[in-house]
Amino acid sequence: MEKQRKRARLIYNPTSGQEIMKKNVAEVLDILESFGYETSAFQTTAEKNSAMDEATRAGLLGFDLVIAAGGDGTINEVVNGIAPLEKRPAMAIIPTGTTNDFARALKIPRGNPVEAAKMIGKNQTIAMDVGRAYGERYFINIAAAGSLSELTYSVPSQLKTMFGYLAYLAKGVELLPQISNVPVKITHDDGVFKGEVSMIFAAITNSVGGFEQIAPDAKLDDGNFTLILVKTANLMEILHLIRLVLDGGKHITDKRIEYLKTSYIKIEPQSDKRMMINLDGEYGGDAPIVLENLKNHITFFANTDDISDDALVSDDEREFEEFAYRFTHEVEDLEKENSH
């Protein structure tokens, strides 16, 4: 009797990254077929939750693999379709968006669907942690809150495209004077933090908007978030902290930063001021909120040969290093101006 072939469902966003996926669908399907998958494709529509609903359907139909092709938004939707299921298919990503933080963390080639699809043939997988918010929303990279996070909603989208989620914040230095501290109570595995913060990060991966030094020791599969609390709203101090981030992640020992590992986080504002929550770069509801880390929840195809290999510097990273260098000098000039 012929052995049943594994089934794969490609869910792709046709408008992501200059419609790059649309041009490569046939070749990607051929590659997946050559790896022994019986493969079919679904093109997402403008309808709300189009990718999420299709991912749920594929999971319930018993597909072995679901491939999300698009930007971080499409990937997040597919995760939200699969994560609640009892029997979850494996997942692969073909990154065609602008930031692609998650692809960066998994070392998947970005902006090249054919090369990304070929990674599936390496058969290297990692059982990844997934974050759950409000008991029903899932995220795979970052949950953020605080006044600094809220500024991201008012930044022009072309800056967002150029620099990613955090880098464009750094670029938008003119917004930084609007930052304020907010009083919060944060419950975590090791106790309670009560105080004022301008920013709260709960990171699963080490890549946030292209900054791989924000949570430099984040592990993809240890069941923990890296919780980072920024305890200052002073413009010069924040610029100094950003410099420490750019200087190899030296911010983690700074007294203005609380940096810890935890599988559970409860964020409760201690004032009447609204606190918006950012999940994987998009608005995801308001605090109070409970975040849980679901350890090893979805098996992802990854390029595990390179995940621990920090010696390779891509063109993207070189570009980023140049940006970091320029930004550091801009900050030095600002500091000099303010010290007079």
When pLDDT is cut at 50, 70 and 90, the band that residue 321 belongs to is low
What does the pLDDT read at residue 280?
84
Predicted confidence at residue 309, as pLDDT, reads 44
Residues of the chain with CATH 2.60.200.40: 139-295
Q: Tens digit of pLDDT for each residue in 92-121?
A: 999 987 667 788 888 898 889 999 999 999
Asked if the model's pLDDT at residue 329 lies above 80, the reply is no
Q: Are 235 and 176 in contact (CB under 8 A)?
A: yes
CATH architecture group of domain 6-123: 3-Layer(aba) Sandwich (3.40)
126-140, 142-156, 306-320: segment of lowest average pLDDT: 306-320
Alpha carbon distance 279, 38 (integer Å)? 33
Q: In what order do the strands lie in the sheet with 257-262?
A: 257-262, 225-230, 199-203, 142-145, 276-279, 282-286
Query: Who's near 118: CB < 8 A, 6+ residues apart?
Result: 31
Please choose, from the candidates 208, 191, 247, the residue with its C-alpha nearest in 3D space to the C-alpha of residue 99.
208
Q: Is the CATH number of domain 139-295 3.30.930.10?
A: no
Q: The whole model's pTM is what?
A: 0.83
Task: Give the span between the Cα atoms of 119 and 108, in whole angstroms.
Answer: 7
Q: How many CB atoms lie within 10 A of CB 73?
A: 17
Residue 58 has pLDDT above 50, yes or no: yes
Catalytic residue annotation: 282
Q: Which amino acid is at 108?
A: I
| Gap between the Cα atoms of 301 and 104, Å rounded | 13
The pLDDT value recorded for residue 340 is 61
Q: Give ranges for CATH 3.40.50.10330 in the chain.
A: 6-123
Using a 10 angstrom Cβ sphere, with 0-12 exposed, 13-18 middle and 19 or more buried, the burial of residue 177 is exposed
Distances (CA, A) of 73 to 115, 171, 283, 294, 313: 21, 22, 11, 20, 26
Determine the average pLDDT of the residues in 275-304: 92
pLDDT at 210: 55
* Amino acid sitting at position 221: D
The residues, any chain, with a CB within 8 Å of residue 215's CB and separated by 6 or more, are 201, 203, 205, 206, 208, 226, 228
Q: Is the pLDDT of residue 33 over 90?
A: yes
Beta pairing, strands 6-12 & 65-70: parallel
Find out whether 54 and 9 touch, Cβ atoms under 8 Å: yes
